[in-house]
């Protein structure tokens, strides 16, 4: 049973378009992390959000953490082909244990 | 600085055999976690070690075990391999309070059981 629900499962867009990925949970986590994974490689950390209501911006990526610390979103502005990958949200509960969502596969075509 | 190193990258084993995978964390990182990634189940937590002690364990059978050495390097072992154990095995390292800085993952070991 996935504690973290990600939507959509798959997203295919053209270069220059915007996209949003959602991550929802019935549980509260001490932090929520977003990763991007490319085929055959390990996930790479994009951001960690800790405080309810927190918004973090990394260039064209904007991350939000819900007030109740149960949901989060990732918004990409003017997507580029290099943004293609599997986006994973992960909630941290007890020591060193991340609960991952199933992931959102994003494909950006030129 | 060097990243998380996992060896080997690829492994093919026969049902019933056992396998040992290795993970060298980033220098200074004392926490090492292991995950199994499959297309059907996604990323699932196996266990976490800190200072040679297992602090947390996921819901996997006892065939899956691990250990951590004094230099923080970690190994995981799977005995009596089953076809369903075919997966990408990932390790991740962090400082003690991983939630403040997230985790750094290795590239993984692709295990195929035939």
Question: What is the per-residue pLDDT across A68-79, written as a single tens digit (0 to 9) for each?
Answer: 888 999 999 999
Question: Given an 8 Å threshold on Cβ–Cβ distance, is B42 in contact with A96?
Answer: no
Instruction: Please name every residue paired with B65 in a beta bridge, in sequence order, or none if there are none.
Output: B77
Summary mean pLDDT of chain A: 92
Residue B20: which of B32, B5, B8, B29 has the closest Cα? Answer: B8
Count other Cβ atoms within 10 Å, centred on residue B61.
11
pLDDT higher than 80, residue A50: yes
Question: CA-to-CA distance for B91 and B112, rounded, in angstroms?
Answer: 17
Question: Given an 8 Å threshold on Cβ–Cβ distance, is A43 in contact with B43?
Answer: yes
Q: Is-contact B55 A95, C-beta < 8 A?
A: yes
* CA closest to B111 among chain A residues: A40
pLDDT score at A27: 85
pLDDT higher than 90, residue A1: no
pLDDT by residue for chain B (114 residues), tens only, comes to 579 999 999 999 999 999 999 999 999 899 999 999 999 899 999 999 999 999 999 999 999 999 999 999 999 999 999 999 999 999 999 887 555 678 999 999 999 999
Residue given tokens 């990182």 in the structure block? B29
| Residue ranges of chain B whose CB lies within 8 Å of a chain A CB | 4, 31, 33, 35, 42-45, 48, 50, 55-56, 58, 90, 92, 94, 98-108, 110
pLDDT score at B76: 98
Instruction: Please name every residue paired with B89 in a beta bridge, in sequence order, or none if there are none.
Output: B36, B109
Question: Given an 8 Å threshold on Cβ–Cβ distance, is A48 in contact with B102?
Answer: yes
* CA closest to A86 among chain B residues: B42
Q: Is-contact B64 B48, C-beta < 8 A?
A: no
pLDDT score at B1: 58
Q: Is-contact B56 A96, C-beta < 8 A?
A: yes
β-strand B10-13 against B109-113: which pairing, if any? Answer: parallel
pLDDT score at B75: 98
């Amino acid at each position: 049973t996935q504690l973290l629900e990600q939507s959509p499962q798959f997203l295919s867009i053209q270069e220059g378009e915007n996209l949003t990925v959602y991550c929802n949970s019935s549980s509260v986590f001490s932090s929520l992390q977003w990763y991007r994974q490319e085929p055959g490689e390990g996930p790479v950390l994009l951001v960690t959000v800790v405080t309810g209501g927190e918004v973090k911006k990394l260039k064209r990526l904007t991350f939000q953490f819900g007030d109740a610390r149960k949901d989060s979103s990732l918004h990409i502005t003017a997507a580029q082909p290099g943004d293609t990958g599997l986006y994973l949200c992960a909630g941290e509960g007890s020591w060193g244990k991340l609960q991952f969502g199933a992931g959102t596969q994003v494909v950006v075509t030129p | 600085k060097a990243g998380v190193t996992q060896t080997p990258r690829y492994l093919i084993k026969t049902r019933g055999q056992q396998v040992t995978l290795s993970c060298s964390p980033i220098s200074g990182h004392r926490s090492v976690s292991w995950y199994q990634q499959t297309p059907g189940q996604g990323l699932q937590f196996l266990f976490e070690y800190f200072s040679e002690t297992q602090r947390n364990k996921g819901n996997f059978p006892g065939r899956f075990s691990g250990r951590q050495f004094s230099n923080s390097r970690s190994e995981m072992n799977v005995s009596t391999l089953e076809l369903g154990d075919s997966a990408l095995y990932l390790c991740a390292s962090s400082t003690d309070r991983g939630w403040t800085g997230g985790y750094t993952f290795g590239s993984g070991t692709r295990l195929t059981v035939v």
